């Protein structure tokens, strides 16, 4: 599904696992290269209420030392204006070792995602799930992918 959308110039529909979104928003490095892609409409970032709650929960971890106002600003400025909200109705139980990861598969299915981007071996090990390619950030940002052009 994803490669075809890249060929027809429609922005790919993408789900970002929590580890990727946190890395993108808080740290320099490869995941931060995703930010201009979603902010410039070169990809459609999909979010559900359950996934957004997890993003907020993880941003509040003490190790990140972010005040509530900083978290609110990050979400309201960097993320929410650029996402497509998806109402998730699917109930998927695939990741036995970490069932909390199933919410990303549910979002991918109900949001008709082309890609799910993750660092998580449980998700990456699936390769493709119901038409959604599951890739690392490095795989998604490969120079030969037309999303970067």
User: Looking at residue 41, which CATH number applies to its domain?
Assistant: 3.40.50.1010
Report the alpha-carbon distance of residue 146 to residue 76 in Å, rounded: 29
pTM to 2 decimals?
0.91
Token duo for residue 83: 């996402």
Question: In a 3-state reduction of DSSP, which class is residue 133?
Answer: strand
Closest CA to 123 of 10, 24, 16: 16
pLDDT for position 97: 78
Report the alpha-carbon distance of residue 5 to residue 25 in Å, rounded: 26
Q: What are φ and ψ of residue 16, in 5° steps?
A: -110, 125
5 lies in a domain? Answer: no
113 lies in a domain? Answer: yes
- Local confidence pLDDT in tens for the 149 residues of the chain: 555 555 667 899 999 999 999 999 999 899 999 999 999 999 999 999 999 999 999 999 999 999 999 999 999 999 999 999 999 999 988 876 777 889 999 999 999 999 999 999 989 999 999 999 999 999 999 987 666 55
Range of the domain at 43: 13-141
pLDDT for position 107: 98
Question: In a 3-state reduction of DSSP, which class is residue 25?
Answer: helix
Closest CA to 48 of 12, 90, 7: 90
107 lies in a domain? Answer: yes
Beta strands in 44-136 (DSSP E): 44-47, 83-85, 115-117, 128-129, 132-135
- Cβ–Cβ < 8 Å for 44, 12: yes
28 lies in a domain? Answer: yes
135 lies in a domain? Answer: yes
How many distinct structural domains can be found in the chain? 1
7 lies in a domain? Answer: no
Report the alpha-carbon distance of residue 125 to residue 49 in Å, rounded: 25
3 lies in a domain? Answer: no
pLDDT for position 46: 99
């Amino acid at each position: 599904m994803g490669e075809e959308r890249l060929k027809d110039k429609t922005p790919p529909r993408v789900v970002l696992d929590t580890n990727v979104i946190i890395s993108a928003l808080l740290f320099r490095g490869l995941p931060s290269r995703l930010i201009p892609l979603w902010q410039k409409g070169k990809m459609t970032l999909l979010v559900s209420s359950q996934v957004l709650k997890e993003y907020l929960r993880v941003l509040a971890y003490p190790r990140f030392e972010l005040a509530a106002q900083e978290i609110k600003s990050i979400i309201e400025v960097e993320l929410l204006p650029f996402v497509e909200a998806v109402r998730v109705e699917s109930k998927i139980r695939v990741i036995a070792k970490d069932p909390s990861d199933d919410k990303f598969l549910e979002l991918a299915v109900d949001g008709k995602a082309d890609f799910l981007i993750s660092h998580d071996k449980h998700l990456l090990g699936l390769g493709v799930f119901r038409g959604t390619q599951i890739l690392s950030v490095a795989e998604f940002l490969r120079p030969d992918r037309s999303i970067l052009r």
